[in-house]
């Protein structure tokens, strides 16, 4: 297997490869672009016109998605997986991956597109570096652009594997919903507001078909649970090889939620009135007091069927401490 196929090993060791370009026996070309960033070009004459960005490790403790990408790279480098798409693989936060922690100083997934202009240092520089790499990758005109940003959860969830679609000028299609179901996704969140996440950056800046995937609990490296991600991995392999992924079920059966409100922590006085044991997608009682902060800020639950997603009162001030989501019908949102 070619050395560049061992991207995770190189990244964890903090090593830069001596050979920046390697060519597989299949004709696929691997190119080291930056730390944790690898470009794969398909063999000549086999390019289907898809630019596929796969990212993981934006948070350093989310290892199962990182290990999934490593398996794909191993098989490409060993000619067991034959790409017919341009593929950019990104391990987002090498420093945090090496430490096995969510981030080093600041949450990288809140820094894209100038989301926190006051933040400086290594995390801000990494966000800019990744933005530049993505801009280069998506620069060829007239191609389909897709970005899947793979994550794992800090907290238990009543819906273990779900996706989040950032704000987009295009409405989601029923075909996209069927594809998500085939990948093992059990629900989709739709975001109407701008955000500073990696997937929001590619959606808004490059009109990419962008989704963030939440793929179960975060675990140490080597305990990522490959079996639980089998459907997603098989789906990505089909996409990379240009095979039409098998669609699963009725798109209308995929639960859809709209993000009704982001609960932003403004100060150290913030209090979230939920215990640490409360899982994502727990239903909330209308009229209940969800959270309080300084200056009399209060968050009351107003919507029927509202649920809490990503509750985390320990984020730093200025970051989201939870999302309130409400169910929405497929006919209301799909093209």
pLDDT digits (tens, 9 = 90+) for 229-262: 899 999 999 999 998 776 666 777 899 999 999 9
**pLDDT for residue 226 is more than 80:** no
Total domains in the fold of the chain: 2
CB 327, CB 259: distance < 8 Å: no
**Residue 220: per-residue pLDDT:** 66
**Residue 225: per-residue pLDDT:** 55
Task: Classify 207 as helix, strand or coil.
Answer: coil
**Residue 114: per-residue pLDDT:** 84
Task: Classify 98 as helix, strand or coil.
Answer: helix
CB 213, CB 180: distance < 8 Å: no
Residue-wise pLDDT tens digits, 153-195: 878 899 999 999 999 988 899 889 999 999 999 999 999 989 9
Of the listed ranges 1-5, 49-53, 80-84, the least confidently predicted one is 1-5
Are 87 and 140 contained in the same domain? yes
Are 200 and 315 contained in the same domain? no
Are 272 and 145 contained in the same domain? no
Residue reference for tokens 């196929």:
5
**pLDDT for residue 11 is more than 80:** yes
Q: Please state whether beta strands 188-190 and 161-165 pair in parallel, antiparallel, or not at all (unpaired).
A: parallel
C-alpha to C-alpha distance for 37 and 27, rounded to whole angstroms: 20
Beta-bridge partner residues of 173:
none
**Tokens standing for 136?**
């280069």
C-alpha to C-alpha distance for 41 and 39, rounded to whole angstroms: 7
Binding site membership: which residues? Answer: 59, 62, 151
**Which CATH number covers residue 295?**
2.40.50.630
**pLDDT for residue 223 is more than 80:** no
Nearest to 323 by CA among 275, 255, 257, 267: 257
CB 92, CB 134: distance < 8 Å: no
Are 23 and 82 contained in the same domain? yes
- Give the DSSP letter of residue 70: H
Are 207 and 308 contained in the same domain? no
Residues 6+ apart with CB under 8 A from 330: 174, 177, 251, 252, 254, 256
Are 127 and 221 contained in the same domain? yes
**DSSP states of 125-141 as a string?**
HHHHHHHHHHHHHT-SS
Q: Please state whether beta strands 161-165 and 86-91 pair in parallel, antiparallel, or not at all (unpaired).
A: unpaired
Burial of 279: CB neighbours in 10 Å, binned 0-12, 13-18, 19+? middle
Are 172 and 230 contained in the same domain? yes
Beta-bridge partner residues of 51:
86, 145
Domain boundary among 252, 268, 289: 252
Q: Please state whether beta strands 188-190 and 144-153 pair in parallel, antiparallel, or not at all (unpaired).
A: unpaired
Are 188 and 327 contained in the same domain? no
- Give the DSSP letter of residue 163: E
Domain boundary among 252, 281, 308: 252
**What rounded mean pLDDT belongs to the chain?**
92
Residues 6+ apart with CB under 8 A from 180: 163, 188, 211, 254
Exactly one of 19, 214, 244, 303 is catalytic; name it.
214
**Residue 153: per-residue pLDDT:** 84
Task: Classify 158 as helix, strand or coil.
Answer: coil
Confidence of residue 228 (pLDDT cuts 50, 70, 90): confident
C-alpha to C-alpha distance for 312 and 236, rounded to whole angstroms: 31
Q: At what angle do helices 174-182 and 230-240 cross, to 10 degrees?
A: 120
**Tokens standing for 88?**
């950019």
**Which CATH number covers residue 66?**
3.40.630.10
**Residue 157: per-residue pLDDT:** 93
Task: Classify 226 as helix, strand or coil.
Answer: helix
High-pLDDT (> 90) share of the chain, % = 80
Residue-wise pLDDT tens digits, 300-329: 999 999 999 999 999 989 889 999 999 999
The predicted model gives 138-149 an average pLDDT of 97
Structure-model confidence comparison of residues 218 and 311, the more confident one: 311
CB 247, CB 180: distance < 8 Å: no
Q: List the domain range (segments joined by +) for residue 213.
A: 3-252
Are 11 and 137 contained in the same domain? yes
Residue reference for tokens 């696929």:
28
CA dihedral sign of residues 68, 132, 111, 183? negative
**pLDDT for residue 78 is more than 70:** yes
Of the listed ranges 85-94, 222-231, 256-265, 325-334, the least confidently predicted one is 222-231
Residue-wise pLDDT tens digits, 102-111: 999 999 999 9
Nearest to 195 by CA among 319, 59, 17: 319
Confidence of residue 87 (pLDDT cuts 50, 70, 90): very high
**Residue 35: per-residue pLDDT:** 97
Domain boundary among 193, 222, 252: 252
Q: Is 283 a catalytic residue?
A: no
**pLDDT for residue 144 is more than 90:** yes
Are 239 and 293 contained in the same domain? no
**Residue 199: per-residue pLDDT:** 98
The predicted model gives 284-307 an average pLDDT of 95
Are 189 and 162 contained in the same domain? yes
**Residue 59: per-residue pLDDT:** 95
Are 265 and 292 contained in the same domain? yes
The predicted model gives 220-235 an average pLDDT of 75
């Amino acid at each position: 297997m070619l050395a560049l196929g061992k991207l995770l090993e190189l990244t964890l060791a903090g090593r830069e490869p001596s050979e920046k370009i390697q060519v597989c026996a299949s004709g696929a070309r691997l190119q080291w672009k930056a730390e944790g960033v690898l470009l794969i070009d398909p063999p000549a004459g086999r390019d289907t016109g898809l630019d596929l960005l796969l990212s993981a490790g934006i948070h350093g403790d989310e290892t199962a998605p990182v290990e999934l990408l490593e398996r794909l790279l191993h098989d490409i480098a060993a000619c067991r997986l034959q790409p017919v798409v341009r593929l950019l693989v990104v391990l987002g936060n090498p420093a945090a991956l090496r430490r096995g922690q969510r981030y080093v100083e600041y949450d990288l997934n809140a820094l894209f597109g100038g989301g926190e202009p006051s933040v400086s240092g290594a995390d801000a520089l990494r966000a800019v570096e990744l933005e530049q790499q993505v801009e280069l990758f998506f620069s060829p005109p007239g191609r389909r652009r897709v970005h899947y940003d793979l994550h794992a959860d800090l907290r238990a969830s009543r819906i273990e594997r779900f996706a989040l679609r950032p704000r987009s000028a295009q409405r989601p299609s029923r075909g996209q919903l069927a594809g998500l179901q085939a990948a093992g996704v059990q629900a989709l969140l739709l975001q109407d507001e701008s955000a500073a996440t990696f997937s929001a950056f590619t959606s808004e800046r490059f009109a990419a078909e962008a989704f963030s995937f939440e793929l179960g609990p975060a675990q140490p490296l080597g305990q990522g649970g490959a079996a639980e991600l089998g459907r997603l991995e098989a789906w990505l392999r089909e996409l990379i090889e240009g095979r039409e992924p098998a669609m699963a079920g009725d798109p209308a059966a995929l639960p859809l939620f709209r993000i009704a409100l982001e609960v932003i922590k403004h100060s150290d006085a913030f209090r979230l009135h939920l215990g640490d044991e409360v899982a994502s997608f727990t239903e909330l009682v209308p009229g209940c007091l969800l959270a309080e902060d300084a200056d009399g800020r209060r968050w009351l639950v107003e919507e029927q069927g509202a649920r809490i997603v990503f509750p985390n009162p320990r984020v730093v001030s200025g970051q989201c401490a939870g999302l309130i989501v409400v169910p929405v019908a497929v006919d209301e949102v799909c093209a």
